[in-house]
Structure 1
Amino acid sequence: MKKALIVSGGWSGHKPKEISEILAAYLRENEFEVEITTSLDTLLDEEKLLELNLIVPNWTMGEITQEQLQSLLNTIKSGVGLAGLHGGMGDAFRNAADYQFMVGGQFVAHPGGDAEEYTVQVDPAHPVTEGMKDFTVKSELYYMHVDPVIDVLAYTNTEQVKMPVAWTKQYGEGRVFYCALGHSINLVERPEMKKMMSQGMAWAAK
């Protein structure tokens, strides 16, 4: 059985406890053994991390120590997968540039707040998005700084730019998957999100 660790905490507005439980349920349906931790010090046990298949950060904003971060970076470089969503992964540890480089992007703004309605256009030719079609959401639209090497799997058209919504990236030997959606519990529980997150987490875990 594959093993996953969800690191849950940070800004309470993103409901880290509830979202972590939803993601854990998706993983368990795919026969993962799941542990949820609410302490970043869990990341200091690199030997334990290297026994995992997947780490799911769900920690909006907050601070991470250099020791905690270095252990996480080493773990993903070695081949453990990384996957997550919204601010829990894409707006975590704003002062940690090495973390942002590993993820492949960083939240900048969401003009219009959580009332923006937009279509997510999906490329179904990847295992993460296989079987998916375009869908419409009414939620925050994350504008992000992104690494040009990311493989964009879903995007939305804005007035200014084609903005990535979901992507993959290689970090050393580790697979990275990120989805910018996920501001509300209702959105994370939508069938489209369940499918993308389930397939994305499974893909990252090899």
Structure 2
Amino acid sequence: NEGFDVELSDTLAAFEDGDKLAGLNLIVPIWTMGSIEPQQERPVLDAVAIHGVGLAGCHGGMCDAFRSATEWQFMTGGQWVAHPGNDGVRYRVNICQGNPHPITAGIGDFDVVSEQYYLHTDPGNNVLATCDFPTAGADGPHTANACKMPQVWTKMYGAGRVFYNALGHNRAVLEAAEPRELMRRGFLWAAKGVGLD
């Protein structure tokens, strides 16, 4: 746990205590395809933007959490749109070597078998890793629009650091060496740079 005291909650009511959130180092949302009420969203936005609390997460737990909450998406830097081929797609995650960062230092490109996320992303994100989209053999109307799809990024939201990793459809993906280290470092970086800067 890298020396952190960790508190878990299975309800969005935990977001309603703005004073408590403002005193945290890091918020890690794990909530998919839900809705968030203004009295739940505003304290998180303020904790990050005003009080410098870090926000870090992965996959749909952070960037497919609240599809109708555009300010949440502005804070996180992206929103899931599709994963053509569903689970079981083999693709390579390419570390952006021209963009050195403590989160990716010493980590090389690696392959995963999982859902390959297509995301609408903030052009202001600091992209640390991408993948070629779509993968060879993908089928559908998107195949003519090849691109480098951001997979890992950081950004600032006011005073707060934000880290996101698109990987994480299942536990096995995040337990592989490279994704696990990216998550560890990303969480530390978002928590006000603890142990990385």
Identify the range of structure 1 (154-163 vs 82-91) with the bigger mean alpha-carbon deviation: 154-163
Where structure 2 has 5 or more consecutive residues not aligned to the other structure, the ranges are 135-145, 193-197
Q: In 1, distance between residues paired with 2:72 and 2:133?
A: 27
1:201 alignment partner in structure 2: 187
Structure 2 residue corresponding to 1:73, chosen from 42, 45, 48: 45
2:128 alignment partner in structure 1: 153
Please report the RMSD computed on the Cα atoms of aligned residues, expressed in angstroms.
0.9
Deviations 1:98-122 (A, max 9, x none): 1001000000000011121111001
For the pair 1:134 / 2:109, whether they are aligned, the reply is yes
Deviations 1:157-178 (A, max 9, x none): 1251110000001100000000
2:8 alignment partner in structure 1: 36
1:121 alignment partner in structure 2: 94
Q: Paired residues, what number?
A: 178
For the pair 1:143 / 2:129, whether they are aligned, the reply is no
For the pair 1:97 / 2:70, whether they are aligned, the reply is yes
* Structure with the higher strand share, 1 or 2: 1
1:21 alignment partner in structure 2: none
* Pair member with larger Rg: 2
Residues 163-174 of structure 1: matches in 2 within 5 Å?
163-174=149-160
Q: In 2, distance between residues paired with 1:144 and 1:151?
A: 15
Q: In 1, distance between residues paired with 2:133 and 2:46?
A: 36
For the pair 1:178 / 2:164, whether they are aligned, the reply is yes
1:52 alignment partner in structure 2: 24
2:138 alignment partner in structure 1: none
Residue 123 of structure 1, CA deviation = 2.8
Q: In 2, distance between residues paired with 1:53 and 1:186?
A: 27
Q: In 1, distance between residues paired with 2:106 and 2:65?
A: 30
Q: Which amino acid aligns with 2:128?
A: L
Identify the range of structure 1 (114-123 vs 141-150) with the bigger mean alpha-carbon deviation: 114-123
Give the TM-score taking structure 2 as reference length: 0.88
Deviations 1:67-88 (A, max 9, x none): 1001110010020000000000
Q: In 1, distance between residues paired with 2:53 and 2:90?
A: 35
Where structure 1 has 5 or more consecutive residues not aligned to the other structure, the ranges are 1-27
Q: In 2, distance between residues paired with 1:200 and 1:131?
A: 14
